[in-house]
Structure formats: C-alpha cells, structure tokens
Amino acid sequence: MKHVNRIVIALLRTPAGRFVGRSLALLTYTDRHGARRELPVMVAADGGGFVVLAGQPERKLWWRRLDGGGPVELLHRGRRLAGRGEVVHDEAERARALTAYLNRFPKARAAAGGAVVVRISADG
C-alpha cells in the first residue's frame, strides 16, 4: 500500500491532480517528531469543510495527531486549504459527519462503525 500511496501522492501534486476526482485529497499534518507527513485520503464535503474517516484506527497513527485538534493542509482538486483537523468525539456530531461521509461513499458503511471520524475545517 505504501507504494500505491506514493504514486497517488505524486499524482495529486501535479496539475492533473485536480482531475483525479472530487473525493480524493492529499492531507498534510505534522507528526509527533515535528516532521510533515502526507497521505491520500477520501474526503466528503460537509458544509464549508470536509469529513475523513480513519478505518481500522488501531492500525493507523495519523488521526491521533488530530485528537484534540491540530493544523492540517488539504490539497483537493488543485486547491490548497490550510485548516484544522479534529477527531469528532461528540456522538451527535459524529453521527451527522458520518452521515455526510456515507452519503458520498455508501460502500464504506460496513467499515464505518469502528472508524474514527475527522473533520477538516478551513482556518479563519
């Protein structure tokens, strides 16, 4: 999967990245050592921001850096969005954000139960 991610990341950085689709974005965050990390994510628009799911969260670290909120950058359809990522803990808000995600990606329903929901909102 690491090799596929590298190819997708490279593609998203090119001008052709804006044509990859409205659902794929490049998420940049800072890890616990202060290094910038990038990963491709599926995003669903929700209001003025986006919703991202971290499926199989026990196997992933990136979302933990956003528990409590943290700065992120999202490259989506050729546009950069400086913002804030935050794990959604409030059950009502989680259900609402999850509904927005599943409306966009209905096939994700089976894996969504144990997923961590992350909201990405624009700064300012």
Q: Determine how many CB atoms are found less than 10 A away from the CB of residue 95.
A: 11
Nearest C-alpha neighbor of 57 from the set 26, 88, 30, 33:
88
For residues 54-85, one letter each, b for 16 or more C-beta atoms within 10 angstroms of the residue's C-beta and e for the rest, the string is beebeeeebbebbeeeeebbbbbeeeebebeb
Q: Can you give the C-alpha Rg of the chain in angstroms?
A: 14
For residue range 18-38, list pLDDT tens digits in order: 777 678 999 999 998 999 999
Starting at the earlier edge strand, list the strands of the sheet with 70-76.
Answer: 36-42, 24-30, 70-76, 79-87, 116-122, 49-54, 44-46
Higher pLDDT, 124 or 79: 79
**What domains can be seen in the chain, in order of their start residue?**
2-122 (2.30.110.10)
Query: What does DSSP assign to residue 9?
Result: H
Cβ-Cβ contacts under 8 Å for 25 (sequence gap 6 or more): 12, 40, 41, 42, 43, 50, 74, 75, 76, 77
Residue 57 binned pLDDT confidence (cut-offs 50, 70, 90): very high
For residue range 74-105, list pLDDT tens digits in order: 999 888 999 999 999 999 999 999 999 999 99
